[in-house]
Amino acid sequence: QKEVEQNSGPLSVPEGAIASLNCTYSDRGSQSFFWYRQYSGKSPELIMSIYSNGDKEDGRFTAQLNKASQYVSLLIRDSQPSDSATYLCAVNGYSGGGADGLTFGKGTHLIIQP
């Protein structure tokens, strides 16, 4: 049974600060890792993807992956009130079929305080 764990929060961060979101996963065979943002009542929106150990930066977002520790994180720099949402960590295994479903964590509710 694949598991993805996230602290549900809420995580409260002042505007302009760095928000740090964390995720651990259970399946060592997992190959790709995604961060989605979900506003209340809306669908998941892709923020970042990462496949190799290390950091990947895209604008104000940095994803970090450590496969040895089975740990993924997302940093949001210069946090804005519009970043307030639930952030979902999703993990894709590889069964060889190429169409694996994502396993999602429960999400971390982030609140950016103006």
Strands 11-14 and 108-113, how do they pair?
A: parallel
Binding of other proteins at residue 44 (CB under 8 A)? Answer: yes
User: Binder to other proteins among 7, 22, 32, 70 (CB under 8 A)?
Assistant: 32
Q: Considering only residues 71-110, where is the footprint of other proteins by CB under 8 A?
A: 88, 90, 92-95, 97-107
Q: With respect to other proteins, which residue has the nearer C-beta, 54 or 98? A: 98
Identify which of residues 60 and 93 has a Cβ nearer to other proteins in the complex: 93
Query: Site for other proteins (CB under 8 A): how many residues?
Result: 28
Is the separation of the CB atoms in 16 and 79 below 8 Å?
Answer: yes
**Residue 22 β-bridge partners:** 73
DSSP states of 81-113 as a string? Answer: GGG-EEEEEEEE---SSS-PPEEEP--EEEEEE
Residue 81, preceding peptide bond in cis (omega within 30° of 0): no
Instruction: By CB under 8 A, name the binding residues for other proteins.
Output: 31-32, 34, 36, 42-46, 49, 51, 88, 90, 92-95, 97-107
